[in-house]
Amino acid sequence: MAGFDSNPFADPVDVNPFQDVSVTRATQGVLGDIREYNPFATTEMKHHNDTTIPISAVASQPAILQTSVEQSSQQASAATIAGQANLLKQQEELERKAAELERKEQELQNRNTQNTGVTENNWPPLPKFFPVKPCFYQDFEMDIPEEFRRICKRMYYLWMFHSATLFLNVLACLAYFTVDAQYGIDFGLSILWFLLFTPVSFICWYRPVYKAFRSDSSFSFFFFFFVFFFQVAVYIIQTVGIPKWGNSGWIASITMIRVNLGVAVVMMVVAGFFTVNAVVAVLLLKMVHSKYRRTGASFTKAQQEFSSGVISNRSFQSAATTAAQGAFGRN
């Protein structure tokens, strides 16, 4: 019955897992000489330097190259689009200029066609019932190119101011004469200067510069420079105001201060007008000269124009024919 008292579920061999030989040796420090393995130690890394597998450049480069190629292609396409836009703008500008030149050429042809017919003179603008008809034709918009139109108008305004100054000079010399009878010669000369210099200045230096800008005539340019140089000298003489020369300039007006202050003031105003004429004339002379250098005119062209104009002149032809007939008749 003793056998029935034993536990049927009990292990016949009572084994203690902590009494295993390997466990007891580890707990007693028998494995103390076993070192702990460190895979990142320098001594261990030395053994693996030769076996390190590098990162393949082929695996990483395609993404970078693809990005750079895409960027360069985008930049190239943007540059191409900008270049095409610039070319279109240039083409539009050229077409616009061509249309403008064609329009100007058409206007010039129409103007020449009109000039071949009967063109009525319109200057000076006189009433229709006036017995004297206009002597010149003047139209800045039709005759003068746009780049020369402003300077040509300024020359016209200078001529008008010049004429008004000569008229005021007559009044100032009249007042000068009323104060002192010995200055009657100034009054007479002032009338002469007004009647003479007003039309002569229009014909001798304003019309030549108008014709020069209208037809790009070298001869007209040289004729204008020659005459206008003397006109500037006359302006300087009138500004100085030498007594008994018919000009109420600065010398004559200053000497009149002690005699009559009111007359002296009037004469000083006219002297100031003469000064303005001289200064503006010098400035416009320089401006016309700068425009003349851009036109390509020259003294050789002026000689050619003069010779061709003289030969084609009917009066010269008739005079030469008459002289030749007379010479042959004598022989």
What average pLDDT does the segment 282-307 reach? Answer: 76
286 and 198: one domain? yes
Q: Is 316 helix (H, G, I), strand (E, B) or coil?
A: helix
What average pLDDT does the segment 203-215 reach? Answer: 92
DSSP class of residue 273?
A: H
101 and 197: one domain? no
What is the span of the domain harbouring residue 154?
145-299
Amino acid 80: pLDDT: 79
159 and 96: one domain? no
- Assess if residue 293 is contained within a domain: yes
Residue 19 has pLDDT above 70, yes or no: no
Confidence of residue 105 (pLDDT cuts 50, 70, 90): confident
The answer to pTM > 0.85 is no
149 and 208: one domain? yes
The C-alpha torsion from 230 through 231 and 236 to 237, rounded to 10°, is 80
Amino acid 74: pLDDT: 72
| CA-closest candidate to residue 280, choices 192, 169, 151 | 151
Higher pLDDT, 172 or 76: 172
163 and 278: one domain? yes
- Assess if residue 202 is contained within a domain: yes
Higher pLDDT, 252 or 130: 252
- Assess if residue 288 is contained within a domain: yes
74 and 187: one domain? no
What is the C-alpha separation between 222 and 219, in angstroms, rounded? 5
What average pLDDT does the segment 284-312 reach? Answer: 70
Are 246 and 189 in contact by the 8 Å Cβ rule? The answer is yes
- Assess if residue 56 is contained within a domain: no
101 and 208: one domain? no
159 and 237: one domain? yes
Domains contained in the chain, number: 2
What is the C-alpha separation between 299 and 304, in angstroms, rounded? 9
Distance of CA 238 to the CA centre of its chain: 37
92 and 175: one domain? no
Q: Is 229 helix (H, G, I), strand (E, B) or coil?
A: helix
97 and 192: one domain? no
What average pLDDT does the segment 15-28 reach? Answer: 59
Q: pLDDT, tens digit, for every residue of 60-81?
A: 445 455 556 566 677 777 777 8
- Assess if residue 6 is contained within a domain: no
Amino acid 323: pLDDT: 47
Average pLDDT, the chain: 77
Query: What residues does 136 pair with on adjacent strands?
Result: 123
What average pLDDT does the segment 189-208 reach? Answer: 95
Residue 321 has pLDDT above 60, yes or no: no
One-character DSSP codes across 68-97: HHHHHHHHHHHHHHHHHHHHHHHHHHHHHH
What average pLDDT does the segment 296-315 reach? Answer: 58
- Assess if residue 212 is contained within a domain: yes
**Burial level of 89, CB count in 10 A (0-12/13-18/19+)?**
exposed
77 and 156: one domain? no
Residue 3 has pLDDT above 80, yes or no: no
Distance of CA 84 to the CA centre of its chain: 27
| Count of H-run helices and E-run strands, the chain | 12, 0
Distance of CA 97 to the CA centre of its chain: 17
DSSP class of residue 138?
A: -
What average pLDDT does the segment 2-31 reach? Answer: 55
Angle at 295 between CA 98 and CA 201, to 5 degrees: 125
- Assess if residue 20 is contained within a domain: no
Are 208 and 224 in contact by the 8 Å Cβ rule? The answer is yes
96 and 161: one domain? no
Confidence of residue 331 (pLDDT cuts 50, 70, 90): very low
- Assess if residue 85 is contained within a domain: yes
